[in-house]
Structure 1
């Protein structure tokens, strides 16, 4: 039996507030007035929710809505706008054309394409599913989401924006690109990411497994690839610290670097490792290792401390306290207790230049040369040799002032 008309508006308000939906509804009934049949249409709707302290958790407005009194008790809303509040202050603004909205236990669910504006960090989050946990000040976004900020753009399957801790946490299939000029051609991929917005740094791979990969996707960085278990990316100065099983692949020349910790100075285009590193230049049959290394990527040059380089084609091994390696030119300058060895010969000096393609070496300072068969030992100040010809010239303070030429076996 239909209710009397004077009681209908009062019963409508009681039916909606009694379901635990909102503290206050403000709306106009459309004409003609509906029957209470489990579905109600509303216009010019305002939704408010407060916590136990009386602080607003959200304040939403809608041009029109349809309420379904089913198991989900949700509103179908058109032209939604409003504010999400934490500790009484507006943290985010929301806007959507057509969404489903419901709430329970101080949480707000929004399903449908929604744009959220982060007022603190001046960014936007767009997703098909949002949950606002007002007491915690945490916004959870899922499904086709993208977070775009002045510093970075983040995509993932799940994202949590914490307005109180000023953190953004992303999980599963996370991809990050930077808007900085020096890093715009780079893309970071991981399964877990924490963006600490106050120190402005990204912590990648810090939760669970999956590791971190940074790729060069365009320009001069095309083909560059860096992998590690964890990475810390400082947005302010564009420095990336990679830790745990670091592997670096550079395309031109085709160089591979391995180590436990590498610091990447993006603006300077330098890779720095203060711990042992290994290097492979496979196309030229060269391998190396060092206690510390710096790669000047723009110059295709590397500087190693306490290093060793092996050349398989020349069957030669070079050790020194400091190596300066021009990689494409295959030219090495060594200093500080330099030793170069071949199966039957050993040369020690203070400074050495090794031109690998020409198999030519030049030594300067405290030259000591020794070979086993025939047994020869000689000292001097300078030496020049050709590994392929098995020939070396030693001069300066030798037994004779005339340069001595020896034929190597």
Structure 2
């Protein structure tokens, strides 16, 4: 049956047994909040309750305590709201609803709701019990709420829901838990733009992806649902897992993670820590390809080997994690634990072999004994100070022996 809004009288009188008449501000409430109510024949049967129940043989009491609350209970209730074109913007059904006059709020049991945008359902809402408010422009639900996006398969759980159809905005608050085939997330608040298919999570955000197995922590995260991207515009931490153990960890003041390609773009004080090999990679911006397991940057880079205490800097570089090889280009400078240095224009670092291969304007220097070598190529182990410098193309190697100063 289709229910249309009709003018209501400000009061409705219901006759109870014993000839006693009680008056309730029913239609005043319904008119104020713009509810469309489908009330079954249970009203005709007298299934309306209030806290001021009158016994069958009692006399009417014209005085009421200001502390008493008047409740009205309805069964099989439907609340509807339409836009200017007559298209629904929300519809909420409940098996039972109770209105409290003093609180001016409706309490519904087992409500089921549908939220519409452009005449199409964008979210389906269920709850065990919810407090409902509406003013014609906004719908509020409070309680243990479950909101489901039937198109994208997103399920949001929280304790407060606000639907603003004119703003194309759904807000879930208070201990948000979201689930999707690609992502699970917890936060304090979620804002969903249904037309844009965009969700903003804020407040202690922890987002976990299944493939690859990662976890993101930040205070504000944007999920572009259609593009399958996560964007963090605040300090963010990304943990990569293998066999349920953290294998790599990345940090940055901003990050973008593509769930489909499994590529993370880290910006502003970006840093990646690898468990194997035990290294720290730092740059102002880096591309971390989790599927290919490599790190690429066109910005100045610094790589530190935690065990060998070897640091290499360059203008740009690439790290292939499974192969344990680093390729560095532009003003490459390798510094060992005893301050021995190897400079070049290009360098390949074979971490497993503990071997450096350098090309272009090579310069090697060590402190003990003090010696400098210059050439076009160099290969060797910087930690053991076993470096071979060659001239290449007929160029001669320049060797400089620095005598010790006398005290």
TM-score, normalised via structure 1 length: 0.81
Aligned with 1:19 (options 21, 32, 37): 32
> For 1:34 and 1:250, how far apart are their aligned partners in 2?
67
Q: Is 1:197 aligned with 2:207?
A: no
- Relative to structure 1, the CA distance from residue 342 to residue 220 in structure 2 (aligned partners, 3 Å threshold; closer, same or farther) is farther
Q: Indicate if the aligned counterparts of 1:280 and 1:286 stay in contact, CA closer than 8 A.
A: yes
> For 1:358 and 1:145, how far apart are their aligned partners in 2?
55
Tell me the CA shift for residue 16 of structure 1: 4.0
Aligned with 1:135 (options 157, 160, 166): 166
Tell me the CA shift for residue 35 of structure 1: 5.7
> For 2:326 and 2:22, how far apart are their aligned partners in 1?
80
**Structure with a larger share of its residues in strand:** 1
Specify the alignment match of 2:400 in structure 1.
371
Q: Indicate if the aligned counterparts of 2:379 and 2:389 stay in contact, CA closer than 8 A.
A: yes
- Aligned residue for 1:106, secondary structure, equals coil
Specify the alignment match of 1:380 in structure 2.
none
Structure 2, unpaired ranges of 5+:
1-11, 53-69
Tell me the CA shift for residue 273 of structure 1: 0.8
Map 1:260-275 → 2, pairs under 5 A: 260-275=284-299
Aligned with 1:351 (options 377, 382, 407): 377
- Relative to structure 1, the CA distance from residue 358 to residue 26 in structure 2 (aligned partners, 3 Å threshold; closer, same or farther) is same
> For 1:289 and 1:62, how far apart are their aligned partners in 2?
65
Map 1:83-122 → 2, pairs under 5 A: 83-122=114-153
Q: Indicate if the aligned counterparts of 1:29 and 1:41 stay in contact, CA closer than 8 A.
A: no
Deviations 1:371-401 (CA, angstroms, capped at 9, x unpaired): 2357xxxxxxxxxxxxxxxxxxxxxxxxxxx
Tell me the CA shift for residue 358 of structure 1: 4.0
Specify the alignment match of 1:252 in structure 2.
276
Aligned with 1:124 (options 134, 140, 155): 155
**Greater displacement, 155-164 / 23-32:** 23-32
**Greater displacement, 342-351 / 51-60:** 342-351
Map 1:330-349 → 2, pairs under 5 A: 330-343=354-367, 344-349=370-375
> For 2:248 and 2:225, how far apart are their aligned partners in 1?
27
Tell me the CA shift for residue 135 of structure 1: 1.8
- Aligned residue for 1:121, secondary structure, equals coil
Aligned with 2:86 (options 30, 38, 54): 54
- Relative to structure 1, the CA distance from residue 282 to residue 266 in structure 2 (aligned partners, 3 Å threshold; closer, same or farther) is closer
TM-score, normalised via structure 2 length: 0.82
> For 2:23 and 2:35, how far apart are their aligned partners in 1?
16
Q: Indicate if the aligned counterparts of 1:323 and 1:333 stay in contact, CA closer than 8 A.
A: yes
Specify the alignment match of 1:63 in structure 2.
95
Deviations 1:52-99 (CA, angstroms, capped at 9, x unpaired): 33321111211112221223x222212211210112221111111222
Specify the alignment match of 1:40 in structure 2.
72
Aligned with 2:318 (options 270, 274, 294): 294
Q: Indicate if the aligned counterparts of 1:87 and 1:135 stay in contact, CA closer than 8 A.
A: no
Tell me the CA shift for residue 224 of structure 1: 2.4
Specify the alignment match of 1:239 in structure 2.
263
Q: Indicate if the aligned counterparts of 1:347 and 1:367 stay in contact, CA closer than 8 A.
A: no
Tell me the CA shift for residue 217 of structure 1: 4.6
Aligned with 2:335 (options 285, 306, 310): 310
Tell me the CA shift for residue 10 of structure 1: 11
Deviations 1:127-173 (CA, angstroms, capped at 9, x unpaired): 11111112222110111211212222221111001101211011111
Q: Is 1:165 aligned with 2:196?
A: yes
Aligned with 1:219 (options 219, 233, 243): 243
**Greater displacement, 140-149 / 341-350:** 341-350
> For 1:235 and 1:258, how far apart are their aligned partners in 2?
23
> For 2:320 and 2:71, how far apart are their aligned partners in 1?
68
Aligned with 1:176 (options 207, 230, 237): 207
**Greater displacement, 9-18 / 265-274:** 9-18
Q: Indicate if the aligned counterparts of 1:111 and 1:129 stay in contact, CA closer than 8 A.
A: yes
- Aligned residue for 1:224, secondary structure, equals strand
Deviations 1:18-66 (CA, angstroms, capped at 9, x unpaired): 2324144444536544366621111111110123333211112111122
Specify the alignment match of 2:3 in structure 1.
none
- Aligned residue for 1:54, secondary structure, equals coil
* Total equivalences in the alignment: 364
Structure 1, unpaired ranges of 5+:
375-409
> For 2:42 and 2:32, how far apart are their aligned partners in 1?
19
